[in-house]
Amino acid sequence: MKPFQGIDFLQLDDLLSEDEKLTRDTVRKFVEREVMPEIGDWYLKGVFPKELIPRFADLGLLGSNLKGYGCAGVNSVTYGLALQELERGDSGLRSFVSVQGALCMYPIYTFGSDEQKKKFLPEMAKGKLIGCFGLTEPDYGSNPSGMTTTAKKDGNQYVLSGNKMWITSGSIADLAIVWAKLNGEIRGFIVEAGRAGFKTTEMKNKFSLRASVTSELHFQDCRIPAENLLPKTEGLKSPLMCLNQARYGIAWGSVGAAMASLCEAIEYSKERVQFDRPIAAFQLTQKKLVEMLTDVTNGQLIALRVGRLKDEDKAKHYHISYAKRHNVAMALKTARTARSILGANGISSDYHSMRHACNLESVYTYEGTDEIHTLIIGKELTGISAFE
């Protein structure tokens, strides 16, 4: 297979700075050399490649858009382009980096005390401490405000009880950012692995995101020091602010998975001969490819525009919902269409589009389902909330 060239039909590279392109190309080469030869095997075996964590750190990918504490401090577009390249490898790798940076380092950075920031962020940027983010519960997914996990103050400790489910990196994490109700208000807590009363169970039987660890977290009268409360958290708004960061990254990452699928389909269709002609010569195939190209290019434009808005501090949560919703649905459709162009070969792990499609089924659901983002945008459009 040829090295990945990307897709840039509307010459969007002209809108990127040299630094942005350099980061994109560096991560692209890393994925080409260190991910693509192995990813099919990792996926089939259901293994997350932990050996890549130091490489993510070397490349400055962990908390890369945060400033100080050993983080790279890049702008939102550079951050997005890096996630695009990672997810062109596999959504599970992008998931790991999103959770570490947007869902664990960001809340410590934004809601933490100076001591918490100094203690955790530099080690997390180096990949020496791994984080997970526990919001979802067995009975509260789309509606996290109903969560039943509680925290109670007892002297200079908090006591946590409850269960979290579908938690990325849960069983390999050194610390969990856990959202629980304290006197009825949602607050964030840092729970270090190994605390008495805190256990994790890996969820193994997945068809999707197989190269990523997904776990349940169990808290049974788990005592943590009072200083592990994230002091500036207040209500559901705090975890939703973290989700904005991660959803933004997904808007770029999903473009990467779509670009990978389109490139694979173009290349395959030029080589595969049926009825004495490459299948790329058939009008129906060309129509599929052109529609995929149009969808991918629209996704690129959306990600770039929302990235620039974010860098100007003008991105609202509904802009991010728009980008996540459009780009994930677009990527899922693109990956499925690419798989159809590959015929039976498309179901083999020698090719990538079907793995992307299987992964994107999770991406369509996590970080707010497609329906939830539809309703967030619907609320902005009409002024009426469908949730109340």
d(CA 240, CA 135): 10
Q: Which two tokens stand for residue 333?
A: 């459709």
Q: How far is the CB of 99 from ligand TGC (least distance, A)?
A: 5
Residue among 15, 36, 172, 241 that touches ligand TGC (CB under 6 A)? 241
Enter the tokens of residue 175.
């610390």
CB 371 to ligand FAD: min, Å: 3
Per-residue binding letters, 357-376, with ligand FAD (x by CB under 6 A): -----x--xx--x-xx--x-
| 367 assigned to active site | yes
Question: What part of residues 93-152 is at the interface with ligand FAD (CB under 6 A)?
Answer: 99, 133-136, 141-142
Which window, 11-19, 133-141, 307-315, 351-359, contacts ligand TGC (CB under 6 A)?
Answer: 133-141
Q: Which of 20, 87, 137, 367 is catalytic?
A: 367
Instruction: For residue 89, give every residue at least 6 positions away whose Cβ sits within 8 Å of its Cβ, in sequence order, or none.
Output: 31, 35, 36, 39, 256, 260
Among 235, 291, 340, 350, binds ligand TGC (CB under 6 A): 235
Nearer to ligand FAD, 322 or 366 (CB): 366
Judged by CB under 6 A, does residue 222 bind ligand FAD?
no
Residue in 64, 75, 171, 214 binding ligand FAD, rule: CB under 6 A: 214
Reading the block at residue 265, the tokens are 């389909």
CB of 278 to ligand TGC, least distance (A): 38
Half-sphere exposure at residue 295, Cβ-oriented, CA atoms within 13 angstroms: 26
CA 25 to chain centre: 20
Contact of residue 182 among ligand TGC, ligand FAD, none (CB under 5-8 Å per partner type) = none
**SS3 track for 34-75:** HHCCCHHHHHHHCCCCHHHHHHHHHCCCCCCCCEECCEECCC
Q: Could you say whether residue 91 binds ligand FAD (CB under 6 A)?
A: no
Residue 136 lies near ligand TGC (rule: CB under 6 A):
yes
Residue 107 tokens, joined: 């809340």
> What is d(CA 19, CA 157) in angstroms, rounded to the nearest whole number?
46
- Out of ligand FAD, ligand TGC, none, what residue 237 binds, judged by CB under 5 to 8 A for its kind, is ligand TGC
Question: What DSSP assignment string belongs to 334-377?
Answer: HHHHHHHHTGGGGGSTTSSHHHHHHHHHHHHHSSS-HHHHHHHH
Backbone angles phi, psi at 165, to 5 degrees: -135, 155
CB of 289 vs ligand TGC, minimal distance in Å: 29
Does 16 participate in binding ligand TGC (rule CB under 6 A)?
A: no
At its nearest, how many Å lie between ligand TGC and the CB of residue 91? Answer: 8
DSSP helix/strand/coil, 187: strand
Q: How far is the CB of 198 from ligand TGC (least distance, A)?
A: 19
Question: With contact defined as beta carbons under 8 Å apart, do 103 and 188 qualify?
Answer: no
Residue 284 region, left (φ>0) first, then alpha (ψ -120 to 50), else beta? alpha
Summarize as ranges the residues that interact with ligand TGC (CB under 6 A). Answer: 95, 98-99, 133, 135-136, 142-145, 168, 235-237, 240-241, 243-244, 246, 317, 366-368, 372, 376, 387
Contact residues toward ligand FAD (CB under 6 A) are 99, 133-136, 141-142, 166-168, 209, 214, 362, 365-366, 369, 371-372, 375, 387
Indicate which residues carry an active-site annotation. 367
